[in-house]
Amino acid sequence: GCPFTPNDLAAPQDPYGISKHEAELGLRGIAAETGMEVVIIRPPLVYGPGVKANFLNMMRWLCRGIPLPLGSIHNRRSLVALDNLVDFICVCLNHPAAANQTFLVSDGEDISTTDLLRRMAHELHVPARLLPVPQGLLGWGARVLGREDLSQRLCASLQVDISKARTLLGWQPPVTIEMALRRTAEHFLSSRKNDG
């Protein structure tokens, strides 16, 4: 119910998360032995031109006009545009206060799955055909189909607190969600046009 902070104890739930945590521990060990400076950056879902996986599928579904049962999701999700992530990495490379710190990074605005779909549909110039299916019913259907993981990604909240990046490094996301979604949509539409 609260945004994650850089000081929260890591509790990875899947092999991907476990491997990332092990990599962090390994880098910290090397830094302790060698004096090398390490900066750990933990981004949430990264999107932007050329995005793949679920974000790409979302844009395809919207463009096909497929009605989605996601019109009543009231979660809060942190996302980070690729441009914002790259900008933050550049700041960390050059800012002396970043050394040996752990940061969370995002666009600075948390949105619901429903709002994300509406905003992306707007940028794709298509209607958002979102059915107001209650979240509890979606969760039940996902359990019946053995897809609780999908329900979790679509309906659960996942927020990160970027106040440490703002206060310690003076960093602000240079690209708004609207601008980043527009660039993502433009790339998607131009690549569809080029594919024929």
Active-site residues, by number, are 16
d(CA 149, CA 172): 32
Residues across the chain = 196
For residue 34, the surrounding DSSP H or E stretch is: helix 15-34
d(CA 107, CA 87): 11
d(CA 130, CA 71): 5
Look up residue 10 and give its DSSP letter: P
